[in-house]
Amino acid sequence: MPRVEVNGVELFYEERSGDGDPLVLVHGSWGDHNNWAPVLPALTERFRVLVYDRRGHSRSERPPGQGSRFEDEEDLAALMETLGFAPAYVAGNSFGASTALGLASRRPELFRGLVAHEPPLMGVVADDTQLLPLMAATGERIEGVLAHLRAGETLAGARQFVEEVALGPGAWDQLPDQLRQTFLTNAPTFLDEQADPDWANLGLGRLPGYTGPALLTKGTKSPPWFAEIIARLSGALPQARTHTFEGAGHIPHVTHPDDYARLVTDFIEKHRQPS
């Protein structure tokens, strides 16, 4: 089981065979490196792929004390440099997309290109009066999840998140056993992430520091604030373009793996840089 110590924490990782350009995949909250399994066969045909469990998730170490997204950003940078993946193309989903964007704005030299799907940076649209009631309603449901987790009611919290925030009523019982166990294992880290006061914030004024190619994506079945977040991020990134996954939501690499892998492949091939 390959693990490497970066920033004082041991992270689990897997490097998938491939002789092409380096590509790093960064998963979102509650999940781990296995979330990328549906797209790995296609991506590893073209690229040298690195997947890993972010700190506090599954096989990686969960250090004590309050964490922060900044730590995740620093972990990503150190992992890329330690394993010889810098500079690389980086694709992130959800909280992983926030992590990748935050790092790109500070360490642009680590990136050949950036793909980010629906980063939950609600702070970017906190001034949108039309979206505020919708985000507040979701925030109340998430607070219910957090209340369960604070009380040690991990199963109740994970089930509520899946059925009231992420996937819909009845979805928990339809999940594979392994995926339900992943939710239960990583529930404490979701509680930790939500306690970070800056988890949903990213100053748009920082983003022009990343001048490389960027692809920002969203799904037609996702909550409406993601479209506005993507629009504002796109306006701040000098080389950004956007894409919408028709019929997809927050995890297109799982629900629409062929479309996602094709989009990432086309993006990299269009913007390929010499080694």
- pLDDT per position in the chain (275 positions), as tens? 799 999 999 999 999 877 799 999 999 999 999 999 999 999 999 999 999 999 999 999 999 989 999 999 999 999 999 999 999 999 999 999 999 999 999 999 999 999 999 999 999 999 999 999 999 999 999 999 999 999 999 999 999 999 999 989 999 999 999 999 999 999 999 999 999 999 999 999 999 999 999 999 999 999 999 999 999 999 999 999 999 999 999 999 999 999 999 999 999 999 986 55
Which residue in this structure is represented by tokens 């604070």?
150
Handedness of CA 164, 119, 273, 86 (dihedral sign): negative
**C-alpha neighbours within 13 Å on the C-beta side of residue 189:** 25
Same domain assignment for residues 46 and 87: yes
Handedness of CA 72, 78, 81, 87 (dihedral sign): positive
pLDDT of residue 275: 52
Helix axis angle, 95-106 to 69-82, nearest 10°? 70
* Count of positions (residues) in the chain: 275
Kind and range of the H or E run holding 233: helix 225-236
pLDDT of residue 68: 96
Which residue in this structure is represented by tokens 């790109």?
104
User: What is the greatest pairwise CA distance in the chain?
Assistant: 52
Q: In what order do the strands lie in the sheet with 214-219?
A: 3-6, 9-16, 48-52, 22-26, 88-93, 111-117, 214-219, 240-245
pLDDT of residue 17: 74
Phi, psi (5° rounding) for residue 44?
Answer: -75, -10
The CATH code of the domain that includes 37 is: 3.40.50.1820
Where in the sequence is the domain holding 176, given as residue range(s)?
132-195
Same domain assignment for residues 9 and 70: yes
Same domain assignment for residues 93 and 206: yes
Residue 275 lies in a domain: no
Number of domains in the chain: 2
Task: Tell me if the bond preceding 41 is cis, omega within 30° of 0.
Answer: no
How far apart (Å, rounded) are the C-alpha atoms in residues 257 and 44?
13
Same domain assignment for residues 36 and 87: yes
